[in-house]
Amino acid sequence: MSEIRNLEPKAVWEIFQQLCDIPRPSKKEQKAVEFAKKFGEDLGLETIVDEIQNVIIKKPATPGMEDRKTVVLQGHLDMVPQKNSNIDHDFEKDPIQAYVDGEWVTAKDTTLGADNGIGVAASLAVLKATDIVHGPLEVLLTIDEETGMTGAENLKAGFLNADILINTDSEDEGELYIGCAGGIDTNAKFYYRAEEAPVDSAAFRIDVKGLKGGHSGLDIPLGRGNSNKLLNRILYTINKSLDIRLADIQSGSLRNAIPREGFVIVTVPKAQVGEFKTFIDELVLQIKSELSVTEPGLEITYTETDMPAKVIDEKTQNNLIKAIYGIPNGVIRMSDAMEGLIETSTNLAIVKKEDGFIELASLQRSSVESAKEDLANMIRCVLELAGAEVVHEGDYPGWKPNINSPILKTMQDVYNNKWGKVPEIKGIHAGLECGIIMKNYPKLDAISFGPTIRYPHSPDEKVNIKTVGLFYEFLVETLKNIPKK
């Protein structure tokens, strides 16, 4: 038996362990859909799986609470599949190895899936409980939140009867979120011509490893290293002075994660190998010094490797390197409306050579729609000037804060009465599904909250055990205090 099953509240941790045992990476979460469907049906509750594979489970009010507003508890079934390079883990087949580490639950060298598995587990625990007082209740579990908000985007009007939406996908206990950023992907392809590798040359592989990575929205203000930017900085510097040719580049793997590791393979004239090594050694010292506090585990290495048969044509190589250098990355602007909130940011997530083209993927986020569009267009222009083919994809709206929200007032009062303090009101620089769902359900009064989760979207992801109990207790107390219709 897994040790996390013994944690309190057992009802939540038992279900979370079941979710850890079910492979559920984004776009491959069918087994989780089947689990949730069976969960609702086994309880004898009305259970619907819509066309896109979202799961909706409805539970009648407990006696005496029939006149309360209907609440929908909402979370997403998928998880981000990230692992350390030193382990062999198939996210489509293997369970997550969750374990207790002091005050936290984490996973062995992979993402944990507490984002949003804990919220899902709490919602299902409420459905299963026979001792919780609540009004009419619905649970909405969406698919593919992490790679495109597909479930929320395709949720049709008419499935939900709720007046209040409580999203369980926030990551700081004691905080209530009433707004979030929208996002858009700016993706590009550089088509190249494969040429014979130059003669009288040596080939080297340059690796960047040991970066922390993390959520490209929540962790973007932490100034963490970006493997795409670091590798390209090295390429740019040596390309100015040496006759290098780029043969391969593979860096980053997920559109919504800060890239943690990657590599390039370059050829260097044998006569310039000494200079090449000197340049790299000096750059490594500079970069590691700059990131010594933020990225103490950073490793940049170079090793001689087999000569490739082909390299990328020189024009495309130069355009690619200059474009990646010119693309902005990180926090672009802080919010004027809410102190401490990031308004606009961008993350260059993936640079990957394929057969005939190099793919770039980036994600722009903003709580201001016009600023999001402006930043995406800025990046598009840089890439198009360099000769790339560019598309915008996956555009989703933000969620405009409503400081006069009735559910906000209810939850503030509940928290204050329970713990003697008022929770913080915040916006989040990440994509929550609230704004998307409210497109088809505009009368919903929405809020988001959750336990404390650190380093989501990375193998360092962990959830604080104590805050899971506080989160669940807060949820239960809130349901008791939902106002009448």
Q: What domains lie within the chain, and their CATH numbers? A: 3-181+398-480 (3.40.630.10), 184-396 (3.30.70.360)
User: What does the pLDDT read at residue 101?
Assistant: 96
| Cβ neighbours around 320 below 10 Å, total | 26
**From 78, 146, 163, 295, active-site residue:** 78
Rounded Cα gap, residues 210 and 290, in angstroms = 15
For residue 51, what are the CA distances in angstroms to 54, 142, 147, 232?
8, 12, 18, 43
**Active-site position among 14, 29, 115, 145:** 145
DSSP conformation class of 237? H
What pLDDT shows up at residue 1?
40
Residue 428 has what pLDDT?
87
- The stretches of 104-226 forming alpha helices (DSSP H) are 114-128, 150-153
Active site residue 78: yes
CA 272 to chain centre: 42
Which long-range CB contacts under 8 A does 306-309 form with residues at least 24 apart? 306/203, 307/197, 307/201, 307/202, 307/203, 307/267, 308/197, 308/203, 308/247, 308/248, 308/265, 308/267, 309/196, 309/197
The reported pLDDT for the residue numbered 183 is 94
Answer whether the bond into residue 319 is a cis peptide, omega within 30°: no
Which residues of the chain fall short of a pLDDT of 50? Answer: 1
The Cα–Cα gap between 142 and 154 comes to 10
How far apart CA 217 and CA 291 sit, in angstroms, is 20
What is the rounded CA–CA span in Å between residue 59 and residue 40?
9
pLDDT for position 337 = 75
Q: What is the model's pTM?
A: 0.78
